Amino acid sequence: MFGDYSISDLGAILAMQGFAGLILFSVYVLMALGLAIIFGQMGVINMAHGEFMILGAYVTWMTSNAVQHVAPWLFPGYFFIAMILAFIASGALGMLVEWALIRHLYKRPLDTLLATWGLSLILQQAYRSIFGAREVGVELPEWMMGSWQATDSIQIPINGMFVMALTILITIAVAYVLFWSSWGKQVRAVVQNRVMAGAVGINTEKVDRYTFGLGCGIAGIAGSAFTMIGSTGPTAGQLYIVDTFLVVVFGGAASLFGTIASAFSISQTQSTLEFFLSGSMAKVITLLTIVAILMVRPQGLFALKVRK
């Protein structure tokens, strides 16, 4: 396949392909972070994760429309406002859901799967009734579209770099919150031993609610960011849910580092295979590899020792 091409052509493609892999990596991390927090820290299988993401996307769409009508001069920077609003909206909905639904099911983890799946259907139909069945087009500021011309033959998508920067920022923020803040210590204490954490005076219910809210809020930001690369429609969340679970489960639940490592290995495998084989085959081989590894190592790449 490479016989007819010059060395510089191949070099450029290799560089761009490397970036494609990194972009895919950041997309995976971004969409899996929220789920990793909820699944990893709380053991809740949140099937409605995709719908929380799409809520963020719809918030972005509404912000874009509102800004265009009310304050067009703000348009180039509206995306940052939209992401904050998306975080708030998805986080608030997440806390509401935790309060109304999830907290009654903590002792029955498999039931949360069913309940959140039902929730995802309800949310999908709600989006359809409110925003219409058709996809909406989120208009982006001009500077976010197009590509950065690194050399004559190397073009790097700007929105891809934006997602990368955002992912790094959010990962650092999440790591800080979980590992260095006092609230993070409480979360980890609850994960390790709920009864004991309660006994030393941690309000475990409150910790649960905020953890769930944080996870959903991050899903909202991810959804907002993905309006740059994907579609916004009532069922668009379903496009992400499988990959998201794959990343979290493969990485080992309860391990933030595992999620990142797993996102990296899956995205690199996927994008390299996609380049040398075809789209569908790449997916098949990636999935088979993951299944094989999980058969040998069911706890995922990195597992945290937790006292149950």
**Which residues bind to other proteins, rule: CB under 8 A?**
5, 9-10, 13, 16-17, 19-20, 23-24, 27, 125, 128, 132-140, 145-147, 149, 155, 157-160, 226, 228-236, 238-240, 270-271, 274-275, 278-280, 282-283
Minimum CB distance to other proteins smaller for 28 or for 302: 28
Structure tokens at 244: 């998201």
**Nearest distance from C-beta of residue 280 to other proteins, angstroms:** 5
Minimum CB distance to other proteins smaller for 43 or for 230: 230
**Nearest distance from C-beta of residue 284 to other proteins, angstroms:** 9
**Nearest distance from C-beta of residue 44 to other proteins, angstroms:** 24
Minimum CB distance to other proteins smaller for 135 or for 176: 135
**Angle, CA 31 vertex, CA 258 and CA 243 arms, to 5°:** 75
Residues 301 and 251 sit within 8 Å (Cβ to Cβ): yes
Structure tokens at 90: 């998805």
Q: 132 — phi, psi (to 5°)?
A: 95, 155
Minimum CB distance to other proteins smaller for 13 or for 189: 13
Minimum CB distance to other proteins smaller for 31 or for 187: 31
**Nearest distance from C-beta of residue 294 to other proteins, angstroms:** 20
Structure tokens at 142: 């001009």
Of 62, 47, 217, nearest to 124 by C-alpha is 47
Minimum CB distance to other proteins smaller for 31 or for 253: 31
**Nearest distance from C-beta of residue 13 to other proteins, angstroms:** 5
User: Measured between alpha carbons, how far is 220 from 84 in angstroms, rounded to an integer?
Assistant: 9
Minimum CB distance to other proteins smaller for 24 or for 254: 24
**Nearest distance from C-beta of residue 144 to other proteins, angstroms:** 9
User: Measured between alpha carbons, how far is 164 from 161 in angstroms, rounded to an integer?
Assistant: 5
**Nearest distance from C-beta of residue 54 to other proteins, angstroms:** 11
Minimum CB distance to other proteins smaller for 121 or for 306: 121
**Nearest distance from C-beta of residue 225 to other proteins, angstroms:** 12
